[in-house]
Structure formats: structure tokens, C-alpha cells
Amino acid sequence: MSVVLHVTGRVLAGPQDVRDELWVVGGRVTYDRPAHAGDVRTVRGWALPGLVDAHCHVGLDAHGAVDAATSEKQAVTDRDAGTLLIRDAGSPADTRWIDDRDDLPRIIRAGRHIARTRRYIRNYAHEIEPADLVAYVGREARRGDGWVKLVGDWLDRGTGDLGACWPRAEAEAAIAEAHRLGARVTAHCFAEDSLRDLVEAGIDCIEHATGLTEDTIPLFAERGVAIVPTLVNIATFPRLADGGEAKFPRWAGHMRRLHERRYDTVRAAYDAGVPVFVGTDAGGSLAHGLVAEEVAELVTAGIPPLDALSATTWGARAWLGRPALEEGAPADLVVYDEDPRADVRMLAAPRRVILAGRVIG
């Protein structure tokens, strides 16, 4: 008879749903004690659903696609940090083989980035012109797992500053095509002037969203457009600005201003009712395994700890259409020594990681 896990202590099955125990039978969660448990292994502590990193690039580094061995190391690093569900927000690498591994995080893919020609990081994206946007969005909608990733703005060398990449009409047609194919659309956006057109065109999510203002935040809230702030990435803006100051001073100044108001921007969006989720932007120039740091950054921005936890657990899983710790769900959970609701920094020190019912660490 296979080993049955008994998780006891406190099980945080939902923001207001705290239980004393759960059982893992056949790799799935049950709250009913098995009649014939056989070999039982007990794990004690504070249990949460496996953490979600909703902006993470497995299969990518600063230079483009990486090999399978490197992709595996990235996924293992995230797993060991408690991240058991990833929305891979754009990667040129084929990581479908990870789906066959029950010891690696689940990945929801957005296909490959779609960017304007010479308006993104080299080797990352399909670089195209607006006339081809609908066709490429359709292609990536078919290749992904229900998401498509656009690059909504980037440095425009002609103006020397951030600038929107897509005309409104083309963006609207492309988003409509994705929705027709059953996919949601998200976009990388740092600046202010790309946001209104994309939201009014029907986009579902914005990554980074540093350009949100008092004029656009109500629009996001009204339309229910989510943001994934990636504050651990936004922390790099001053260094990036310093590196580009000599050639692009307008851009550098803009990046510094966006950085300076980052916490106020996120808190204003949260206060207005904009859905906020955790993402680290790992896999480009950032290391993997930073999900706990991002949760702590959301708290620093003024989001209450329970809501910051939800943004990487119950709420994030519901948004992505994946179960948490309900009856019959896959047993993907993380166990801590202390209550992470009291101090979200506890997320950085998982006691046990349980994936598909197996104790990984």
C-alpha cells in the first residue's frame, strides 16, 4: 500500500478557511481520514497551497532560450522556494517536457513574446510589424496554455524614451482574435501612454504596470484588468537608468520616476479594487526563487498581508483556473514552521514542499 501523508497543525485552505489537518491519498487532497491508511507519514506545520509565480520565465536567460538542463535548474529553484504553479509570461524555449515530470512545478505558458521590430530584448520575441499582429497572436494562442504575451511598450530610439508599440486598431483586433481562440492576453508595460488603448481594446492583464496613474487606475478597476507588479524587477530600474543615461537621458529619467512612485502606484491600484497578483519576472536577468521577496514587497507597498498571501495562493490559483487545497485537488502544498499570515517573510523558509503528493523537501 502506498504511503499516505497526514498534514497536521494548521491548514490554510482559504483566506478564512483554517483546518486542523488534511490527508494526501493517491497524490490528492482529502479531508476525510482514510479507512485503511496503511503506511502514514505525518508532516506538521502551517500549510498553504503551493505558491504561484504569475510572471516567471522558465527556459529563458538574459541572452534568450536556454537548454533543457538550465530550464530544469530554474524550475527546481522555483520549486524549492515553494513555487509550484508558474505562469510563464513568455519564453522562446520549448518546455513542454516539464509537463511529464511530477517533481517540477506546473507551468501555464503564454507562448513566445510578441514585440515590435527592434523594440525588445534580442532573441526573446517574435519581432513583427502591426499588420502581422493578429496572425502572430493567433499562432501563440494556439501554442500556449490560455495566455498570449505582448510587449506593449519599450524604448523608442527615435524619441529616446518609452513608447507604445501597437496602434489601437491592431491591438483591438489581435486581442479579439485571442479571445475567440479561448486565450487571455497580457502585456509588458512600463510607461503611461500604452495603458488606456490596451485596456479599452480588451486586454486581460498588464505586467509591471508602473505607468498607472489616477486617470487609468479607475479604468483598470472598472474593466477588472489585473496587474502583476513584479516589484523585485522594478527595483532594478535605477541601475538600468544609470547604464542608459549617456545615450538616452529622457528614458533614464522616466525610469527613475516610475521607480520612485512604484509603491504608491501599487497601493493606489489595490485600493481602487484592481486585482493584484505576485510575479517575479525571473529568468531574464533576475534569479529564480524570489516569490517570497515579491510578496514582502507587496506588503511594503501597503497591501495587507492576508491579501498579499492570496495574491500568490488562493486568489492567484482561482484567477488562473487552478485549484488550491479543496477536496480532491492535486496535493501541491508548502508547509512552514510558523504562521505566514503573521509574517509573510516566513515564505522564504519552507519546511516541506509537497508536489503531487510527494514530499520534495
17 in helix, strand or coil? Answer: strand
Q: What is the pLDDT of residue 36?
A: 74
> For strand 184-189 and strand 147-151, is the pairing parallel, antiparallel, or unpaired?
parallel
Q: What is the pLDDT of residue 1?
A: 47
CATH architecture for segment(s) 4-49+323-359: Roll (2.30)
Q: What is the pLDDT of residue 285?
A: 87
Structural contact between residues 40 and 1, judged by C-beta atoms closer than 8 angstroms:
no
Domain layout of the chain by residue ranges: 4-49+323-359, 51-319
Q: Could you read off the pLDDT tens digit of each residue along the chain, which spans 361 residues?
A: 478 999 999 999 999 999 999 999 999 999 999 987 678 999 999 999 999 999 999 999 999 999 999 999 999 999 999 999 999 999 999 999 999 999 999 999 999 999 999 999 999 999 999 999 999 999 999 999 999 999 999 999 999 999 999 999 999 999 999 999 999 999 999 999 999 999 999 999 999 999 999 999 999 999 999 999 999 999 999 999 999 999 999 999 999 999 999 999 999 999 999 999 999 999 988 999 999 999 999 999 999 999 999 999 999 999 999 999 999 999 999 999 999 999 999 999 999 999 999 999 6
Phi/psi region, residue 303 (left: phi>0; alpha: psi -120 to 50; beta: rest), is beta
Assign domain 51-319 to a CATH class.
alpha beta
With residue 324 as reference, give the H or E element that holds it.
Answer: none
Task: Name the nearest CA neighbour of 67 among 97, 105, 106.
Answer: 97
In 10 A of CB 279, how many CB atoms? 30
Output the nine-digit C-alpha cell for 167. 496602434
Q: Which residues contact 294 (CB under 8 A, 6 or more apart)?
A: 53, 230, 231, 232, 278, 279, 280, 312
Q: What is the DSSP string of 265-314?
A: HHHHHHHTT--B-----BTTTBPS--HHHHHHHHHHTT--HHHHHHTTTH
Structural contact between residues 263 and 301, judged by C-beta atoms closer than 8 angstroms:
yes
Q: Rounded to the nearest 5°, which phi and psi values hold at 164?
A: -65, 145
Q: What is the pLDDT of residue 148?
A: 98
Structural contact between residues 55 and 228, judged by C-beta atoms closer than 8 angstroms:
yes
Taking the model in full, what pTM does it have? 0.97
> For strand 153-156 and strand 147-151, is the pairing parallel, antiparallel, or unpaired?
unpaired
184 in helix, strand or coil? Answer: strand
